[in-house]
Amino acid sequence: TQLLEQSPQFLSIQEGENLTVYCNSSSVFSSLQWYRQEPGEGPVLLVTVVTGGEVKKLKRLTFQFGDARKDSSLHITAAQPGDTGLYLCAGAGSGNTGKLIFGQGTTLQVKP
Amino acid sequence: EPEVTQTPSHQVTQMGQEVILRCVPISNHLYFYWYRQILGQKVEFLVSFYNNEISEKSEIFDDQFSVERPDGSNFTLKIRSTKLEDSAMYFCASAGTGRVETEAFFGQGTRLTVV
């Protein structure tokens, strides 16, 4: 069974601080995606990483896929209150159906 | 911008009743999915649907669940006899391909409350 574990589950920081969220598995994933979910809304894709060791940047967000494609991280530089939300990692399941396996999410609160 | 739309946004039903959750995927997408999220828990895969048939389903997706694309636009999830533990947010998603790098677009969800 493919599982994804996210850490930490909750993070409360001050505006301007940096943070890293981790997504780990004992299984290899062909790709990993990071989503952001607002209350009462569906997940919205931030980025997809496909190649082991890949690093992608989205403004102040940096995403990395582990060399062995078993883990990923999301690093936010100089967090802002607008970054507050639930961050989800999701891995492409085995098979070619496009199924996603989600981590349990990290709730981030950035205080002004 | 194209989007996945789900109706209703909130459904309250009595235990044992049948419910149908509706989704309109993005028009040129070919792959369709249902996920659910019980309050405080992770988003869980239920079923994937391609070429008018189920391509994969999870253990959660038992005989009480069924999916249909009746008219080429709507994609529905039916729960035949709801149980209290079916209370959750149900998300529909669609994708243009089944490739791993393809973005899946999610609807805003239907909150199902079984009483």
* Chain B CB within 8 Å of residue A100 CB: yes
pLDDT of residue A112: 95
- Cite the DSSP H helix spans in chain A: none
**Per-residue confidence at B100, pLDDT binned at 50, 70, 90?**
low
Pairing assessment for the beta strands B10-13 and B110-114 based on DSSP bridges: parallel
Tell me which residues of chain B, numbers 15 to 74, contact chain A at a CB-CB cutoff of 8 Å: 31, 33, 35, 41-45, 48, 50, 55-56
pLDDT of residue B87: 98
Do the Cβ atoms of B45 and A93 come within 8 Å? yes
Q: Which two tokens stand for residue A107?
A: 């709730």
For residues A5 and A32, what is the distance between their CA atoms, to the nearest angstrom? 13
For residues B91 and B3, what is the distance between their CA atoms, to the nearest angstrom? 13
Kindly report the average pLDDT of chain A as a whole number: 94
Tell me which residues of chain B, numbers 91 to 110, contact chain A at a CB-CB cutoff of 8 Å: 91, 93, 95, 97-109
Res. B6: pLDDT tops 90: yes
Answer yes or no: are the C-beta atoms of B86 and B21 closer than 8 Å. Answer: no
Q: Which two tokens stand for residue B23?
A: 């989704």
What number of C-beta contacts closer than 8 Å exist between A and B? 70
Share of chain B above pLDDT 70, in %: 98
pLDDT of residue A40: 83
Res. B25: pLDDT tops 80: yes
* Chain B CB within 8 Å of residue A88 CB: yes
Do the Cβ atoms of A43 and B43 come within 8 Å? yes
pLDDT of residue B83: 97
Select from A29, A100, A106 the residue whose CB has the most chain B CBs within 10 Å, as the one to mutate to test that interface. A100
Do the Cβ atoms of A102 and B108 come within 8 Å? no
Pairing assessment for the beta strands A106-111 and B110-114 based on DSSP bridges: unpaired
Query: Residue A85: phi, psi to the nearest 5?
Result: 160, -175
Which residue ranges in chain A fall short of pLDDT 50?
A: none
For residues B61 and B19, what is the distance between their CA atoms, to the nearest angstrom? 15
For residues A78 and A73, what is the distance between their CA atoms, to the nearest angstrom? 16
**Per-residue confidence at B33, pLDDT binned at 50, 70, 90?**
very high
For residues A61 and A41, what is the distance between their CA atoms, to the nearest angstrom? 21
For residues A31 and B77, what is the distance between their CA atoms, to the nearest angstrom? 27
